[in-house]
Structure 1
Amino acid sequence: MKLLRIFDPFTLTLIATVLLASFLPARGVFVDYFSWLTTAAIALLFFMHGAKLSRDALVAGGSHWRLHLWVMCSTFILFPALGVLFAWWAPVNVSPEIYSGFLYLCILPATVQSAIAFTSLAGGNVAAAVCSASASSLLGIFLSPLLVSLLMHTGGGASQDGLRQVGAIMLQLLLPFVLGHLSRPWTANWVARHRKWIGKTDQTSILLVVYTAFSEAVNNGIWSQVGIGALGFIVLASIVLLAIVLAVNTLVARRAGFSKADEITIVFCGSKKSLANGIPMANILFPVQAVGMMVLPLMIFHQIQLMVCAMLAQRYRRRQLESGAIQATQEG
C-alpha cells in the first residue's frame, strides 16, 4: 500500500508505457502513425492552452523577465557547467564517448511540450512556461551548436536544420496556441465547463511522447550498445544530474521569492533537455559512427526526466489542489 501511494496511477501508467515500448516498440508503418498521433495530441494540447489563457495572463507570462532569465541560465549555464565538471572528473572508467554524451546533453535546449504539460499538470504558471520553453528551444537551435564547438572542440553547423526546427516549432506549437487564444470568444466558456476533461490532454500527450521517444530508442538498439555496467552508470549519473538541477532550481526559486506557481514553472522548464532537438543536431555535429553512443545518455536522461517529473508534478498538484491554487493560476 505504501508503494502504491508513492506511485500514483499516472506514474504507474508511465511505467507501463515504458515497458510496452521496450517489448513492443512502434515499427514500420506504426512509427509514422504514432508520430502523427503525438504531433496531433501536442497541437491539441497547445490549442487548449491558448484557449484557457486570457490576454492578461499571456502578457504577465511574457513579461516575467526574472523567471525567464533564470530558466535560460539553468539551461545554458548551469547544465553546461555541470557537464564540463563531470566530463573533467570522469569518476568511473567507462568509454570517453559516454562522458562526451553527457556533456552534449547538458548543452541542449529544454523540451517544450513536456515542460509545459508538466507545468500545467502541477498547477504552475502555464503562460510563463510557454514563453520560457519556446524561447529556450528557439535559442538552443543557435546556442547549442556554438556551445558544442566551444566546449567539445567539434566543428560543424546546423543552420539549415535550425531553420527547419524553427519552422516546426512555429507550426506545431506556436500556431495552435495562437489559434486557441484567438478562439477564446467562442471556446472560453466550453473550456471552462470541461476543464477536468481537458486536463487529460496533458497526461495523454506525455504518454504519447514517452512511448514514441522510447520506441525510437529501442529501435536504435539502446539495449545493445553498452553493457549492463555502463548502462547502470548512465542511469545513476542521469539521476544525480537531474537531482542537482532540480534542487538548485527549487532553491533559487524559493530564495528569490517566486510564487509557488512560478517555482513550478522554473523547476520544470529549467530541468529539461530536448531529445527532439538533440538527435537531429547530433547527426550534423558528430561523425555518423559516433552519433549512437553520443546520444545514448540523452535518450536515457530523457526517459528519467519524464518519469521523475511526472511524480514531482503529481506531488505539486496534490499540494496545489489542497490550497485551491491551480484554478487561479490557469484561468484568465
Structure 2
Amino acid sequence: MKKVDPLLVGIVIAAVLAFLVPARGGFADGFAVAVKLAIALLFFLYGARLSTQEAIKGLTNWRLHAMILAFTFVIYPVVGLLARPTTAIISEDLYQGLLFMTLVPSTVQSSVALTGVARGNVSGAVVAASLSSLVGVVATPLLVMWLMGAGDGVHVDASVFGDIGLQLLLPFVFGQLAHNFVPRVGELAQSKATKIVDRGSIWMVVYSAFSKGVVSGVWSNVSLWEILFLVVFACALVGAMLWLTNALPAALGFPREDRIAVQMCGTQKSLATGLPMATVIFGGASLGVMIIPLMIYHMSQLIICSAYVSRVSQHDAQ
C-alpha cells in the first residue's frame, strides 16, 4: 500500500490551520513577506536544478514540446471556457478559479516522476515540463488578462508581468546562472532536502490564501455540493485528458515513450507554480476561493495518474 503523499497531507493541514488559526494583522503582513521569499527561493531552485546544456539538447524534440504546450495552453483553456455553464452549480468565483486552473503550466516533479514510472521519455519530460513553466510565466498572465479580465471581480493589468518577472522569472534566471558558475549548486538543488522548500512554499501559500478567505468570510459562500461537484469534474477531466493525450499523439505517429511523456506532462497542472502566480496576479480575499479548483485538480491528477502509470508499468513487465 502506497504512503499518502506528504504534499497533500500538508495542504490539508495548512487549510485546517487557516480555519482554526488564520493569519491576522501584523502577523499576516509578515507572513506575506515570508511567502514571497519562499516563492523566490523555490524558483531559484527550479533554475538551479536544470542543466542549461540538457535543456538546449532536449529542446530539439520540438514535436513533443509543441504537443505538450498545445494541451497545456490551448486545449485546457478551451475546456475552461466551455465549462462556463457550470456557474449554474458553482459560484462565479469558483468558476473563475476553475478557469484559472486550466491556464497554469504543467508540473515539473510529478510529471517527470510519473513518466519515469511508466518508462516514458524522461529527459523529454524534464525539458518539456520546465519549458511549460517558463512559457507559463508569460502565457498564464496573458491568458488571464484575455480570458478572465472581463470577468466580474477579476481585474488584471500589465503590471502583473513586472511582478511575476521579479518574483518568479528573475530567481529562475539567477538559479540558472548559479548552476553554471557556482560549484555544486546544481547538486544541492537536486538533493532531497530541497523538497522541504517545494512543499513548504506550497503549504505557506495555501495557509496565507485560506487565511485571507477565513478573515474576510468568503468560505461562507462555498457549499459542500460545490466542493463535491469540483471533485467529480476534476476526476472526469483527468480521465478524459489521459485518453486524449494518448490518442492524438498516437494518431500522429509519436513513439510510445513520447506518448507517455505527453500524457504525464499534458494532463498535469502545477500547484507549485499556479499558487504563486495566483498570489501575484490576484491577491485579495477572493484568492482563497479561487485556488480551490486548482488544489482539487492537483490532488485528483496525482491519485489518478499514479494509478494509471502503475497499471501501465505492471502491464509492460508482463
Q: How does the TM-score come out when normalised to structure 2? A: 0.70
What is the Cα deviation at residue 213 of structure 1?
Answer: 3.5
After superposition, the Cα gap between the structure-2 partners of 1:180 and 1:232, relative to the gap in structure 1 and judged at 3 Å, is same
What CA distance in whole angstroms lies between the structure 2 residues aligned with 1:203 and 1:163?
25
Cα shift at 1:187: 1.1
Q: 1:318 to 1:200 in 2, by over 3 A?
A: farther
Could you tell me which residue of structure 1 aligns to residue 66 of structure 2? 69
Q: Residues 312-323 of structure 1 correspond to what in structure 2 (within 5 A)?
A: none
* Correspondence for 2:225: 229
Match of 1:195 in 2: 191
Structure 2: runs of 5 or more not aligned: 117-121
The within-5 A match list for 1:134-283 is 134-148=134-148, 158-172=157-171, 174-184=172-182, 186-187=183-184, 191=188, 195-245=191-241, 247-249=243-245, 252=248, 256-257=254-255, 258=258, 260=260, 263-268=263-268, 274-278=274-278
For 2:53, which of 53, 56, 74 is the aligned residue?
56
**Aligned-residue offset at 1:95:** 6.2
1:121 Cα deviation from its structure 2 partner = 5.8
- The question of 1:24 aligning with 2:18 is answered no
**2:108 counterpart residue number:** 116
SS at match of 2:219: coil
Instruction: Tell me if the contact between 1:51 and 1:188 (Cα under 8 Å) persists in the aligned partners.
Output: yes
Please state if 1:308 is matched with 2:300.
yes
Gap runs ≥5 in structure 1: 323-332
- 2:100 is matched with which residue: 92, 99, 105? 105
Q: What's the TM-score once normalised by structure 1's chain length?
A: 0.68
Instruction: Quote the Cα distance in structure 1 between the aligned partners of 2:23 and 2:305.
Output: 27
- The structural deviation recorded for 1:181 is 1.8
Question: What's the CA shift for 1:222?
Answer: 3.7
Aligned residue for 1:129, secondary structure, equals: helix
SS state at 2:147 partner: helix
Matched, 1:82 2:74: no
CA distance in 2, matches of 1:216, 1:96: 18
Q: Mean alpha-carbon deviation: is it higher for 308-317 or for 5-14?
A: 308-317
Instruction: Please provide the CA RMSD for this pair.
Output: 4.4
CA distances 1:38-60 after superposition (whole Å, capped 9, x unpaired): 44444434444444433321213
Does the CA contact (< 8 Å) of 1:41 and 1:201 recur in 2? Answer: yes
CA positional deviation for 1:168: 3.1
CA change 1:260–1:103 in 2 (3 A) is: closer
Q: Letter of the 1:128 partner, please give it.
A: A
| Amino acid paired to 2:53 | D
Q: Which position in structure 2 is the counterpart of 1:330?
A: none
Mapped to 2, the partners of 1:170 and 1:38 lie a distance apart of: 16
Q: Tell me: CA distance 1:23–1:310, structure 2 relative to 1, closer, same or farther (3 Å).
A: farther
Question: Per the alignment, in what secondary structure is the counterpart of residue 274 of structure 1?
Answer: helix
Identity %: 24
1:175-232: CA deviation from partner (whole Å, max 9, x where unpaired): 3322332235x1158539x833344443333433433343344344342123443444
Distance in 2 between residues matched to 1:198 and 1:80, nearest whole Å: 31
SS in 2 for 1:268: coil
